[in-house]
């Protein structure tokens, strides 16, 4: 989750990172796309796009 509600009721915002590979924005030049409580980076978007088009790319490095 992006937000964590503490006992004090204060909401702490965490640095957004890709929910799929865990990369942060700017890491390796990636951009993040925000979803409903999740993020996906440009790299994962590209991989997902290729999968949806029927390609079968190798697993991303570090996965």
Q: In terms of C-beta density within 10 A (0-12 exposed, 13-18 middle, 19 or more buried), how is residue 32 classed?
A: buried
Among the listed residues 7, 9, 17, 21, the single contact to Zn ion using CB under 5 A? 21
CB of 18 to Zn ion, least distance (A): 3
- Rule CB under 5 A: say whether 32 interacts with Zn ion: no
Give backbone dihedrals phi and psi of 62, rounded to 5 degrees, phi first: 90, -5
Among the listed residues 4, 10, 17, 18, the single contact to Zn ion using CB under 5 A? 18
- Contact criterion met (CB below 8 Å) for 60 and 47: yes
Residue numbers at the binding site for Zn ion (CB under 5 A): 18, 20-21, 41, 44
């Amino acid at each position: 989750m992006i937000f964590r509600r503490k006992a004090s009721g204060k909401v702490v915002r965490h640095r957004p990172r890709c929910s799929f590979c865990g990369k942060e924005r700017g890491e390796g030049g990636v951009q993040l796309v925000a979803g409903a409580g999740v993020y996906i980076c440009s790299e994962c978007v590209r991989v997902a796009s290729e999968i949806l088009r029927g390609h079968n790319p190798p697993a991303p490095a570090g996965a």
